[in-house]
Amino acid sequence: MPHSPASSLPAWFLGPRGENAELLERLVVEALRDHVFWRRNYHPEDGVVIREMDKRQEGYEETVATLTQELIGLLARLKRDAPFFSGRYKGHMISEQTIAAQIGYFATMLYNPNNIAAEISPVTTRLELEVAGQLALMIGYDPARSWGHITSGGTIANFEALWLARGVRYLPVAAAGAARELGLELSVRLPGGRTALLGQLPLWELLNLTNPATLDLWELLWRSAPPDDVRRALADHSLADIGYQEYSRRLALDYGDPLPAGVVLVAATAHYSWEKIVRALGIGSNQLVHIPLDTCYRMDPDALWERTRELARRRQPVLALVSVCGTTEESAVDRLDLVLEVRSRAERELGMTFHLHSDACYGGYAAAVTRKADGGRRTAAEIQASVGADWPSPEWVRAVEALGQADSVTVDPHKMGYVPYAAGAILVRDGRARHLVATDPPYLAPTETPSTDIERFLGRYILEGSKPGAAAAAVWLSHKVLPLDERGYGYLIERTVAGARRFHAALAAADLGLFRPVVLPVPDINIVCYVICHPAVPTLEGVNALNDAIYQRMSLSRPDGAPEYIITRTRLRSPMYDGAIDPVLAQVGVTPEIWKAAPADGLVVLRSTIMEPFLAAPPPAPDHVTGFLGALRRACEEALTLRR
């Protein structure tokens, strides 16, 4: 690598001024013509279907006129869209897309492959599996043992993770029933390391086998009887077949004690879609247990341990624990290394275990920061030298390295992968788990050649059906141009972190007259949250109204539709932020009791995701930090005036 990634960066994006327009246009036209000539070269003897004369018919002309006119209408409407490309957009987790992703998507869309099955996507199904392998390597999975694929987004990816986790968690109960029916004596490895006979395990122990032990058991079961018999026996006992209503009845019948309903532990910062997911899966949102946060909005490992002990005492099984790498609101990175330690301790001391999932939908790509070009890891000091700041801490690096130990990880290319929607991804550490949710046929025996099998028909293992091969190609091409290490995504994300830190420091030190910015802690990645206070509005209600009004002035819903800068806002609510928010409330001048008294309102917090890589760049790049502070002050003043 003779040049620095800094000199590559200018070629990665179309640019806020469309600086690379010629490049993108050249590639777009090239891809389109290339596709057209493919069509012409395909059985040239077939002749033309649409004749030149057909193009001179009135209907043809009218259709072209309609198409052109409606397109121009659409283009006009799109001008009211949010300018994600600009440094003036400091709102949600969206920015520009890489040129590679844009051209990869467009070029492939002309072919429109469907990655549900290799038969109708012979090329892009392979690209999808390549991409999954690249992401697996980045987070530290063994690509040969893991499995993954692209989804339409993070919610579906997370849904699949919990769906898989449930399948694994409940398998031993189904296997015990099936083995009984088949007259098999199977041995199984317990969390402590001991081996036991499956048929002699009580329900609690069946629900507390580790994932690897469970998947070994599953393979053993298939090896111990003819496949048709195993299939039939599992269909009599597995949750997927018999459903929850019958399952609950059976547990009570077979084990006397059905145990309390299984719960899902989530970091209190978990995205609202987790509630959606547990509702849809039939687990129920009351079974979602929020683990308290520390004051940096990371899951508190001690609180996790306390909660785990309490659940063990109540003999309430845990389907899965969801840790977050890059929270939606603050980009906080849970100390996954410590969370893993809590699980190990629970296995040792409580005989309790669970599927550990990391929701790295936002933060997953930040793992590229820890990777050298040769695939090795960089130390915190090496990264700090490159960023030019005291980021990341050695603890941050350990937390990110721990991703490789999670049972599943979700990471969205359409967030910090800078590709167009829709592209999420799920990665599973032990790829055998996919067989537990396979559909057609219901229970698939371990195959001789799993990779062929996967390539042939992805639809068998995933929630979705038809899916765009173009999304896979977009991610694939983007990874080719921006490698998942210090040369590509790693450098890109470093720049956004540098920008976010400059932004954070400037906000904290900003002179906004009587307005006083209360800035949340320096983020773990690149989302900055802040609250604006003013002596005239001392109450929580007043602060919320003021910040809501500031947000309104700095969003597209502003009456004139032309905000100088665009931000977004969120609400930090009780009980999720109990304790963690206290230092912020203290700075705002509100007691936790008052904040807790209105849980629906919470604390309104302004939020800026810094995904553009130029915020910390020197001139002639526009100084969007200074510009922002001026705009913020004007918005503050307008907001206060309006309130009066």
**Looking only at residues 475 through 514 of this chain, which bind its own copies when binding is defined by CB under 8 A?**
476-477, 480-481
The token pair at 254 is 């077979």
Given the complex with its own copies, which of 163 and 297 has the nearer CB atom?
A: 163
CB of 113 to its own copies, least distance (A): 6
For residue 522, the minimal CB distance to its own copies (Å) is 25
Of 190, 235, 505, 545, the one binding its own copies by CB under 8 A: 235
Q: Mark 120-139 with x for binding to its own copies (rule: CB under 8 A) and - for no binding.
A: xxxxx---------------
15 touching its own copies, by CB under 8 A: yes
Closest separation between CB of residue 4 and its own copies, Å?
7
CB of 116 to its own copies, least distance (A): 9
Using the contact rule CB under 8 A, the part of the chain among 55-63, 182-190, 340-348, 390-398 near its own copies is: 55-63
Q: Is 379 one of the binding residues for its own copies (CB under 8 A)?
A: no
CA 213 vs CA 108, 186, 206, 354: distances in Å: 41, 12, 11, 12
Tell me which long-range contacts 25-30 makes (C-beta under 8 A, separation of at least 24): 27/99, 27/103, 28/103, 28/106
Does 7 engage in binding with its own copies (CB under 8 A)? yes
Residue from the set 289, 350, 380, 437 that interacts with its own copies by CB under 8 A: 437
Interacting positions 269-288 with its own copies (CB under 8 A): 271-273, 275-276, 278-287
Q: Which residues in the 618-637 window bind its own copies by CB under 8 A?
A: 620-622, 624
SS3 298: coil
Q: Which span (88-96, 139-147, 194-202, 345-353) binds its own copies, by CB under 8 A?
A: 88-96
Q: Which of residues 89-118 bind its own copies (CB under 8 A)?
A: 91-92, 94, 97, 99-100, 102-114
- Rounded Cα distance between 596 and 618, Å, is 44
* Interface region with its own copies, contact rule CB under 8 A, candidates 175-183, 350-358, 379-387, 614-622: 614-622
Task: Kindly state the smallest distance separating residue 318's Cβ from its own copies, in Å.
Answer: 14
Sheet holding 288-291, edge to edge: 147-151, 424-428, 408-410, 355-359, 318-324, 263-267, 288-291
Strand pairing category for 408-410 and 355-359: parallel
Least distance between its own copies and beta carbon 192 (Å): 27
**What tokens were used for 304?**
């996790």
Helix (H, G, I), strand (E, B) or coil at 467: coil
Nearer to its own copies, 89 or 141 (CB): 89
HSE at residue 226, side-chain half, CA atoms within 13 A, is: 2
Closest alpha carbon to 539 in 574, 603, 592, 590? 590
Work out which of 388, 394, 442, 575 binds its own copies, going by CB under 8 A: 442
Other Cβ atoms closer than 10 A to 189: 16
Which residue, 10 or 513, has its beta carbon nearer to its own copies? 10
Phi/psi at 431 (nearest 5 deg)?
A: -60, -15
* Sign of the C-alpha dihedral computed for residues 532, 537, 540 and 544 taken in this order: negative
**Which residue lies nearer to its own copies by CB, 177 or 424?**
424
Min separation Cβ 497 and its own copies, Å: 18
Based on the shown chain and the rule CB under 8 A, indicate whether residue 54 belongs to the binding site for its own copies: yes
Report d(CA 536, CA 85) in Å as an integer: 36
Q: How far apart are CA 122 and CA 111, in angstroms?
A: 11
Query: Binding-site residue total for its own copies (CB under 8 A)?
Result: 172
Please name the amino acid found at residue 230: V
**Residue 557: CB minimum distance to its own copies, A:** 8
3-state secondary structure 148-204: EEEECCHHHHHHHHHHHHHHHHHHHHHHHHHHHHHCCCCEEECCCCCEEEHHHCCHH
CB nearer to its own copies: give 463 or 512: 463
Residue 67 main-chain phi, psi, to 5 deg: -60, -50
617 binds its own copies (CB under 8 A): yes
29 binds its own copies (CB under 8 A): yes
- Which stretch in 64-72, 342-350, 394-402, 537-545 sits in contact with its own copies by CB under 8 A? 64-72
Min separation Cβ 244 and its own copies, Å: 3
Structure letter (DSSP) for residue 5: G
The separation between the first and the last C-alpha atoms of the chain, rounded to the nearest angstrom, is 60
Round to whole Å and give the CA distance between 415 and 475.
Answer: 11
**Binding positions for its own copies, 570-599, rule CB under 8 A:** none
Q: Which stretch binds its own copies (CB under 8 A): 214-222, 352-360, 444-452, 473-481?
A: 473-481
What is the C-alpha to C-alpha distance for residues 616 and 86, in angstroms, rounded to an integer?
14
Give the interface segment with its own copies, choosing from 172-180, 292-300, 468-476, 603-611 (CB under 8 A): 468-476
Which of 138-146, 174-182, 432-440, 507-515 is the region at the interface with its own copies (rule: CB under 8 A)? Answer: 432-440
Torsion sign across C-alpha atoms 78, 528, 615, 485: negative
568 contributes a contact to its own copies by CB under 8 A: yes
